Amino acid sequence: MVIVRGTLTLEELRQMAARRFGDMVKAVVDVDRELLAVDAELHADLEALLLGDGSQQKSLWGINLYPEMPGEASIEFDSLINIRPSQGNRSRGVEQEAIRKTIAAVVDKRLAR
């Protein structure tokens, strides 16, 4: 598990995918601090890593990254940690378009494609 504070190359992401799930890397994005935590078996482990680093629960969203997919198709907004009715998100997806756009912007900032 690692918190990406700089940038991660596409090749590094591919290697992470190959080691664990084959074609996908689980990630958690802190939309306020613009951080990306990657490379764990569970989103909850990445969430705990970021919480321990000072992130706030309300700012964390789980995604899956597919390094072989182009553009927006490389991000899947699906994680159990995203279920939070208190924030108006009742599913595993990210229901608010504005939050999805912010997540994509953080991913673009942290991944050198």
Position 92, amino acid: R
pLDDT at 72: 86
- Tokens 């597919």 identify what position? 66
pLDDT at 46: 98
Q: pLDDT below 70 — which residues of the chain?
A: none
3-state secondary structure of 75: strand
Give the phi and the psi of residue 3 in degrees, each rounded to 5. Answer: -95, 125
**Can you give the length of the chain in residues?**
113
**Residues 86, 75: Cα–Cα separation, whole Å:** 24
Burial of 106 (0-12, 13-18, 19+ CB in 10 A): buried
The end-to-end CA distance of the chain, in Å, is: 20
pTM of the model as a whole? 0.96
